[in-house]
Chain A
Amino acid sequence: MRVALFITCVNDTLYPHTGQAVVTLLERLGVEVGFPEGQSCCGQPQFNTGYRHETEPLVRRYAAAFRDYDYVVAPSGSCAAMVRDNYPRIGAKAAAEGRGQELADAAAEAVPKTYELTEFLTDVLKVTDVGAYYPHTVTYHPTCHGLRMLGLGDRPRSLLAAVQGLNLVELPGADECCGFGGTFAVKNAAVSAAMGADKARNITATGAEAVCTVDNSCQMHIGGTLARQGSTVRPVHIAEILASTEGNVW
């Protein structure tokens, strides 16, 4: 089983810690992890803002970078959903515009092997107890693309529930969007901020020490809002919790 890490551009640049946690976790579970350097961004910011043609080289790049692997694991529900949901659309539209099957083929190659981290753990490795230890009270915010585009369901919660020492508390209004939405956060800043403020208030009300998600992009927005409000609740990516052990709490 050849497994590659798709780090995603946000994690690569701003949250390398999360990537290190994924590597640590997967290696602890006996998985040999590769990191093809040719990888880059999934293209979601461009695609979701309306620049589909700007996304096409990144679709090609993704397929080429991960060609030699059986599985691609991304610590991001949003980026995995971009590949799974939108790459086929991009391929189909290019074909419809008379530019051949190349992008559709690239999508067909990329889609079936792309997994979000918690899916990979539960569906491919078939584990829910990853041997983690995290002695904190945590609340879980299911990010929209993980929840609705990937249909992650209870996977992240079941993984968290199996973590030793972790006290999982329910988040009121958990399924509501935090307000990030990529360029939405800047294009509709007022609404985004209002959504973020409500989310942050709900998170603080749980009394949790940390808020966990499968996406650092949402965490950036939630954490930035919490910090500006003076809250002490820490944003933590699920990989960082699952990588933690008794001797090394992340």
Chain B
Amino acid sequence: MSGTHQATYLGMPAFPAAADASTRNTQLRANLRHATHTIRAKRATAVAELDDWSPLRAAGAAIKDRTLRHLDHYLEQLESAVTAAGGHVHWAADADEANRIVTELVQATGEREVVKVKSMATQEIGLNGALATAGITAYETDLAELIVQLGDDLPSHILVPAIHRNRGEIRDIFAEKMAEWGRPAPEGLTDAPADLAEAARLHLREKFLNAKVGISGANFMVAETGTLVVVESEGNGRMCLTLPETLISVVGIEKVVPTFQDLEVFLQLLPRSSTAERMNPYTSTWTGTTDADGPRTFHLVLLDNGRTDTLADTVGRQALRCIRCSACLNVCPVYERAGGHAYGSAYPGPIGAILTPQLRGIQSELDASLPYASSLCGACYEVCPVAIDIPEVLVHLRERVVEGGPVSIRGTRTVIKPAKGHAAERAAMRAARWALDHPRVLRTGQRLASRTRRFHPRRLPGPGRAWSDTRELPKVPEESFRDWWQRTRGESGTEGRKTT
């Protein structure tokens, strides 16, 4: 078994460079195109079945907004309810603290192996790597996460982490790597989906039956009852949540909802948006512990890791409404071409492009490039079941990148400087604004362009090359509209006349 099998996002290139490489990968492009278009069409059908989708979506957004406005209250209520039900609540300010808490909790059990339900929060903090450093092996039990783990790979999609792999690749990974991690793949494994599923089932069953510690995330936490909810499709989650003696759940603080009845809204919005199913196959809920059934010990680790800072931003906070359905990834034309790895984060796609730079800040070149990983086409906003205006937040974060400004860093209000590397662009934008705010200057420029039109190059130098490498340039006309109007409509040019 490879020691530190947790691959890392650290040191990844900025989005444009990573995407430049991935868009050239024709196999990846084909895999992604097929998968996203299939689920996109199914989602549209599933959503169209409900004639109250629009009010449901508004209700989802409203519940989340209200909860976020009073997050302190609901988290304290949750803590009390979980504790009253026999659970233990831990607060983690950042990834390091969360990893330390979980590692110590596992070490206290004396176990060296844990089984995991697929969890975005533990992916975000790099828990598997932290556990590996402490000599603890974490087994991913979600089929796609298993593929990613065996392949020493990174997830590239929120819902379908191995979306970038096809059946043939998965067969090869199973055949080569399963033995290192436990039960080997059967001899002569084919790439038929049923065979691959059976190989995973046999491999995982051993893990479930031997595990003493389970680690999960949660899709929702109910403040009034202290109930946690996991929504999954394979049943692996339910095995991890019920068979081990100790259950540790690592959950972002924004996942709380006030009441059990609020689930009524989200359990309609989530499955239709994510897997295009009317109802989710396995919805598991648990509240603390009982003597007769399930884990005897339950720990809830509440993760901040930049969420309070995100909450402090009145425009950007809407990203915290996200219920991780991944509809925005499936509809995004940029994600479809670039793939999930290019985003360099556990959260790829449009939601990642606004969530990651808020959770991690924009200090790194990669994080500063993420708000630009969008053509602002708005398809993500249109499909979002909790109506996150992703384009609005993207532009808001672009402003933070180029102009700096007030932000909250670990709870402290501060003013950050613009990110590096935008000086030339800023100068160009200022010059353009000056010209555009002086129409005579604009007209002089247009006339100059018209007069020199015969000498314009077919290929542009500098940043413009990115345009002319793949597209013809438009020809500058002999006369601008302004000049045409003045020539044909009189001297003042301020009023038109009827030509009848």
Interface residues of A (CB under 8 A from B): 5, 7, 9, 11-17, 19-20, 23, 27, 30, 32-41, 43, 45-55, 57-58, 61, 86, 89, 144-145, 147-149, 175-177, 179-197, 220-221, 223-225, 227-228
The reply to whether the CB of B179 lies closer than 8 angstroms to some CB of chain A is no
Is A51 touching B471 in the complex (CB atoms < 8 A)?
no
Query: Are B425 and A49 in touch, CB under 8 angstroms?
Result: yes
Q: Which of B20, B379, B402, B433 contacts A190 (CB 8 A)?
A: B20
Residues of A with C-beta under 8 A to B378: 144-145, 147-149
Report how far A16 CA is from B437 CA in the complex, Å.
20
For residue B53, CB closer than 8 A to chain A, the reply is: no
Q: Indicate which residue in A34, A48, A49, A195 contacts B333 across the interface (CB closer than 8 Å).
A: A195
Are B473 and A224 interface neighbours, CB within 8 A?
yes
Task: Give, as a whole number of angstroms, the nearest-CB distance from A2 to chain B.
Answer: 10
CB distance from A168 to the nearest CB of B (A): 23
Residues of A within 8 A of B392 (CB): 89
| Inter-subunit contact A20/B481 (CB<8 Å) | yes
Residues of chain B at the chain A interface (Cβ within 8 Å)? 15-16, 19-20, 23-24, 29, 333-334, 337-338, 371-379, 381-382, 392, 395, 397-403, 425-426, 429-430, 432-433, 436-437, 439, 442, 446, 449, 463-464, 466-467, 469-474, 476-477, 479-482, 484-485, 489, 493-500
Query: Which residue of B401, B429, B466 is within 8 Å of A189 (Cβ)?
Result: B466
List of A residues within 8 angstroms of B337 by Cβ: 191, 194-195
Taken together as a complex, chains A and B put the C-alpha atoms of A23 and B29 apart, in Å, by 44
> Given the complex of chains A and B, what is the CA–CA distance between A170 and B176 in angstroms?
47
When the two chains form the complex, which single residue of B20, B375, B401, B500 contacts A27, counting CB atoms closer than 8 Å? B500
Which listed residue, B338, B399, B464, touches A52 by the CB 8 Å rule?
B399
Cα-based distance from A190 to B392 in the complex (angstroms): 24
Given contacts A9-B442, A34-B494, A36-B494, contact A189 B469 (CB under 8 A): yes
B471 touches A224 (CB 8 A): yes
- Given the known interface contacts A9-B436, A52-B403, A191-B19, the answer about A177 and B379 at a Cβ–Cβ threshold of 8 Å is yes
Q: List 19 A-B contacts (CB under 8 A).
A: A7-B481, A11-B481, A12-B480, A32-B497, A43-B433, A50-B402, A51-B403, A54-B433, A148-B378, A176-B377, A182-B376, A186-B464, A186-B467, A187-B16, A189-B467, A191-B334, A192-B375, A194-B29, A225-B471
Q: A50-B371, A189-B16 are in contact. List 9 more A-B contacts (CB 8 A).
A: A7-B482, A15-B474, A32-B496, A45-B429, A48-B376, A53-B403, A177-B379, A195-B333, A196-B470
A184 x B476 contact (CB < 8 A): no
Cβ-defined contact, B377 with A144, below 8 A: yes
Chain B residues contacting A184 (CB-CB under 8 Å) are 372, 374-376
Q: A54-B430, A223-B472, A225-B470 are in contact. Are A190 and B23 (CB under 8 A)?
A: yes
Q: Is the CB of B429 within 8 A of A35?
A: no
Contact between chains at A16 and B469 (CB < 8 Å): no
Task: Give the residue of B403, B464, B477 whose beta carbon is less than 8 angstroms from that of A50.
Answer: B403
Residues of A within 8 Å of B381, CB to CB, are 148
Give the most central of B379, B429, B430: most A CB within 10 Å.
B429
CB-contact partner of B496 in A15, A34, A194, A195, under 8 A: A34
B379 and A35 contacting across the interface, CB-CB below 8 Å: no
A84 CB, nearest partner CB in chain B, Å: 13
Identify A179's interface contact among B333, B480, B485, CB under 8 A.
B333
**In the bound complex, do residue B373 and residue A193 qualify as a contact, i.e. CB atoms below 8 Å apart?**
no
Give A110 to B280 CA distance when docked, in angstroms.
47
Nearest chain B CB to A38 CB, angstrom units: 6
Question: Smallest CB-CB separation from A14: which chain B residue?
Answer: B474
Partner of A45, one of B371, B432, B496: B432
Which residues of A have CB within 8 Å of B469? 189, 193
With a cutoff of 8 Å between Cβ atoms, the chain A residues found around residue B472 in the complex are: 223-225, 227-228
Which 9 A-B residue pairs are closest in the complex by CB-CB distance?
A: A181-B375, A50-B398, A224-B471, A189-B466, A177-B377, A148-B378, A16-B481, A144-B377, A227-B472
User: How far apart are the CA atoms of A47 and B398 in the complex, in Å?
Assistant: 9
